[in-house]
């Protein structure tokens, strides 16, 4: 991927429309944001095509060391994403430096995120959910084979194309906090990154993310699309939610059927009891095919239910800010007691550069064992002594 620098590498403010990034990509309009910065619709003036250009959070005001670290993180994301070439993953085209600021240039997919769709509809039909899951799982199989763990699978990072020949195409996006299994770049000790409502229990407890935790997050995303709420519910108290996730206590689903059974297997608390990503993909494809060809489902565009409009094609106002339940970002540090809902300092603010981490949390300790079992045991012991005393008294009376 080419890298280019602007005039003198000077660090300046945030650019606006019509700015030419690295002498090649002309910004048109801001279309969103991801884990590491603003995303613009731009035109590649060399190849005459539309692209998505993501400006990593500005280095303005940082020391040179901090700015360089931010640039390296951008290069890291670009290189990771470039490893993955799959029809169901957003393609990475270029990494550029403009006026000292790092940019990632990606495939532009006119689309609506699954989070936006769920904001409008609440839920989706079983076969559509299964097809989305099968196609994202297929992309994740390729990612894992390339040594990439996504770490932030959620409705907001799944796109459904809504224009032209690609309409209905499902793509996984935003590898902003992805990690290569062999790159050694981990978050600082005691910090985990991602979106808590979609965490796997072991990640909430501080274990490094893995292929199995990506599978769990996909299962949580599909659960949300089918049920209308994340498997652990929605809680304004992020610490309490994180404790619930750490214990693996999902809410019982309202739906029953083949898809629910697959999802519940994906949501097994123990990583060893979950299916492989290949097995999950194949089972999801079978549900989506409903007796048809499961293999064809993996490359087919998403179809609306019979007699219903394709909701991802609707035009709505203010949809960019819409999100699925549980996707609101924050930075939270639990109180020293580590108990769910404990009083103590709670910060809700954006993480500071040079290493922005969306939704960063200090993992809570595993909740202490319930004292209920101890109380029951004590009751049995006391009761046993009473019964034994009665028996002895009876024997004495009988002898006397």
At which of 274, 303, 332 does a domain end?
303
In a domain, 284, yes or no: yes
- Residue 39's closest CA among 28, 55, 19, 62? 55
Please tell me the distance from the alpha carbon of residue 328 to that of residue 308, in angstroms, as a whole number.
30
Please tell me the distance from the alpha carbon of residue 186 to that of residue 389, in angstroms, as a whole number.
62
Residues 6+ apart with CB under 8 A from 336: 344
Give the active site residues. Answer: 152
DSSP letter at 16? -
In a shared domain, residues 99 and 230: no
Q: What is the pLDDT of residue 74?
A: 73
Domain that holds residue 91: 19-107
Please tell me the distance from the alpha carbon of residue 153 to that of residue 104, in angstroms, as a whole number.
20
Please tell me the distance from the alpha carbon of residue 244 to that of residue 326, in angstroms, as a whole number.
13
| Secondary structure class of 155 (helix, strand, coil) | helix
Q: Is 273 exposed, middle or buried (0-12, 13-18, 19+ CB in 10 A)?
A: exposed
Summarize the confidence of residues 239-245 as an average pLDDT: 91
In a shared domain, residues 208 and 284: yes
pTM across the whole model:
0.73
In a shared domain, residues 205 and 126: yes
**pLDDT more than 90, % of the chain:** 46
| Secondary structure class of 89 (helix, strand, coil) | strand
In a shared domain, residues 229 and 297: yes
pLDDT in tens, 150-200: 889 999 999 999 988 889 999 998 775 555 555 555 444 445 567 899 999
In a domain, 90, yes or no: yes
Q: Is the pLDDT of residue 331 over 60?
A: no
Q: What is the pLDDT of residue 90?
A: 92
- Residue 248's closest CA among 234, 235, 267? 267
In a domain, 277, yes or no: yes
Residues 6+ apart with CB under 8 A from 389: none
Helices (H), 200-358: 201-204, 211-227, 238-247, 258-266, 277-289, 294-297
Please tell me the distance from the alpha carbon of residue 366 to that of residue 381, in angstroms, as a whole number.
29
Tally of domains in the chain:
2
In a shared domain, residues 103 and 123: no
CATH number at residue 207: 1.10.510.10
In a shared domain, residues 263 and 119: yes
In a shared domain, residues 99 and 154: no
In a domain, 269, yes or no: yes
At which of 79, 107, 135 does a domain end?
107
Residues 6+ apart with CB under 8 A from 93: 1, 44, 51, 105, 106, 107
At which of 107, 122, 145 does a domain end?
107
pLDDT in tens, 345-371: 223 333 333 333 334 433 444 444 444
Helices (H), the chain: 64-83, 114-121, 126-145, 201-204, 211-227, 238-247, 258-266, 277-289, 294-297, 372-399
In a shared domain, residues 79 and 119: no
In a shared domain, residues 124 and 42: no
Q: Is 54 annotated as a binding residue?
A: yes
In a shared domain, residues 100 and 135: no
- Residue 77's closest CA among 215, 2, 175? 175
In a domain, 13, yes or no: no
DSSP letter at 12? -
Q: Diameter of the chain by CA atoms?
A: 110
| Secondary structure class of 127 (helix, strand, coil) | helix
Q: What is the pLDDT of residue 53?
A: 92
């Amino acid at each position: 991927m080419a890298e280019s620098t602007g005039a003198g590498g000077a660090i300046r403010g945030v650019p606006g429309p019509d700015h030419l990034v690295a002498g090649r990509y002309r910004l048109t309009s801001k279309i969103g944001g991801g884990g590491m910065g603003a995303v613009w619709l731009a035109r590649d003036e060399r190849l005459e095509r539309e692209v998505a250009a993501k400006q990593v959070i500005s280095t303005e005001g940082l020391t040179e060391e901090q700015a360089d670290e931010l640039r390296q993180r951008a290069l890291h994301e670009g290189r990771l994403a470039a490893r993955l070439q799959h029809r169901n993953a957003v393609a990475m085209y270029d990494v550029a430096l403009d006026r000292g600021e790092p940019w990632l240039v990606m495939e532009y997919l006119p689309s609506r995120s699954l989070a936006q769709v769920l904001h409008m509809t609440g839920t989706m039909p079983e076969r559509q959910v299964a097809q989305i899951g099968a196609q994202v799982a297929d992309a994740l199989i390729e990612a894992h084979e390339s040594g990439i763990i996504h770490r932030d699978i959620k409705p907001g990072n799944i796109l459904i194309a809504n224009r032209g020949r690609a309409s209905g195409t499902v793509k996984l996006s935003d590898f902003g906090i992805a990690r290569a299994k062999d790159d050694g770049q981990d978050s600082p000790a005691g910090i985990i990154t991602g979106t808590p409502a979609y965490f796997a229990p072991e990640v909430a407890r501080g274990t490094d993310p893995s292929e199995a935790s990506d599978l769990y997050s996909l299962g949580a995303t599909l659960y949300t699309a089918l049920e209308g709420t994340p498997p652990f519910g929605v809680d304004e108290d992020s610490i309490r939610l994180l404790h619930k996730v750490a214990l693996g206590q999902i809410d019982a689903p309202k739906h029953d059927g083949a898809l629910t059974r697959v999802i519940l297997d994906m949501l097994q608390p123990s990583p060893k009891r979950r299916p492989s990503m290949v097995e999950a993909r194949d089972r999801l494809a079978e549900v989506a095919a409903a007796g048809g060809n499961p293999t064809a489902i993996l490359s087919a565009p998403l179809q609306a239910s019979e007699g219903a409009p394709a909701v991802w094609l609707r035009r709505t106002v203010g949809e960019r800010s819409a999100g699925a339940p549980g996707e609101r970002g924050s930075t939270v540090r639990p109180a020293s007691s580590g108990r769910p809902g404990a009083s103590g300092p709670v910060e809700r603010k954006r993480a500071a550069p040079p290493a922005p981490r969306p939704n960063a949390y200090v993992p809570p300790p595993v909740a202490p064992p319930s004292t209920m079992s101890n109380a029951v045991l004590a009751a049995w012991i006391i009761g046993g002594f009473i019964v034994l005393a009665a028996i002895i008294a009876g024997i004495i009376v009988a002898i006397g």
